[in-house]
Amino acid sequence: MRLSDLSTRSGVPTATIKYYLREGLLPAGDRVTASRSEYTEAHLRRLRLVRALVQVGGMSIAATKEVIRAAEDDTLDQHQRFGAAQEALFSGRPDAEERPEPGTAARAAVDELLAETGWGECVDQPLYWNLVDAVTALERLGHPCDITRLRPYAAAVAPLTEYEVDVLAGYPDEEQLEAMVALTVLNEPILLALRRIGHAEVSATRFGSSGTGGHPAGAGAPNVG
């Protein structure tokens, strides 16, 4: 398909597509003439992924480039590329001097949880520090998040992650990495929205005015962390 066709089918303006091509977010098309290239369904799929990451996922162009670069690294096996893409997605790693010492309550709780679940492979990786940072922030706000508070979250997440990896395994090999990136970024707003809907419904049941049977119109879920 021509660039104009790619724009029509994706809904992305041609100027934006050209920008993505210059930035390396989209592979070059097959050159037909000096002024014209042809694009494939793979280009359309990649373009939709980039657009979703930037517009829905709120990722910067630089972060999106890092994720795609990791996903396309042929020197890594599938598991390693999954990990590299995840690291690029969540690259906020605190400087060494800012990391909580092993003896701090937050870090101790996280280490104990990962030891219990057998998820210790991520220790000292960006996702590990994301978790430690979150637990540390709760501690500093006066909301201790010890192992008993963390266990229900791990118990809820474990079957979900198994399900999501099973979903990814159902994709053709050449689509799995793109699917992993898309599902990682775009499933999180779904999880967050469902969690907040659940908060609102449970709050209405437990704390709502007697006889109303629901929460006030327009009220959102309470922020419980």
Please report the DSSP string for 91-120 in residue order: -----GGGSPPTTSHHHHHHHHHHHHHT-G
| pLDDT of residue 193 exceeding 80 | yes
Q: Is the pLDDT higher at 72 or at 146? A: 146
112 within domain boundaries:
yes
125 within domain boundaries:
yes
| pLDDT of residue 35 exceeding 70 | yes
52 within domain boundaries:
no
Q: Is the pLDDT higher at 189 or at 153? A: 153
Instruction: State the total domains in the chain.
Output: 1
21 within domain boundaries:
no
Q: Where residue 112 falls among pLDDT bands split at 50, 70, 90?
A: very high
166 within domain boundaries:
no
- Give the phi and the psi of residue 34 in degrees, each rounded to 5: -60, -25
C-alpha torsion angle, residues 200, 202, 203, 208 (rounded to 10):
110
The rounded mean pLDDT for the chain is: 81
Copy the structure tokens of residue 160: 């979900």
Q: Is pTM, for the whole model, over 0.75?
A: no
Amino acid at 105: A
Closest CA to 126 of 84, 160, 157: 84
Range of the domain at 146: 92-159
pLDDT reported for residue 58: 74
152 within domain boundaries:
yes
pLDDT reported for residue 102: 54
| pLDDT of residue 29 exceeding 70 | yes
Q: How far apart are CA 203 and CA 208, in angstroms?
A: 7
Q: Is 31 helix (H, G, I), strand (E, B) or coil?
A: strand
Copy the structure tokens of residue 75: 């020197």
Q: How far apart are CA 182 and CA 186, in angstroms?
A: 6
153 within domain boundaries:
yes
Q: How far apart are CA 177 and CA 164, in angstroms?
A: 13
Mean pLDDT of 135-141: 89
Q: Where residue 195 falls among pLDDT bands split at 50, 70, 90?
A: very high
Q: Where residue 167 falls among pLDDT bands split at 50, 70, 90?
A: confident
* Residue 85 buriedness (CB in 10 A; 0-12 / 13-18 / 19+): buried
Q: How far apart are CA 202 and CA 214, in angstroms?
A: 9
| pLDDT of residue 218 exceeding 90 | no
pLDDT reported for residue 88: 66
103 within domain boundaries:
yes
User: What is the radius of gyration, based on Cα positions, of the chain?
Assistant: 22
Lowest-pLDDT choice from 102-106, 158-162, 207-211: 207-211
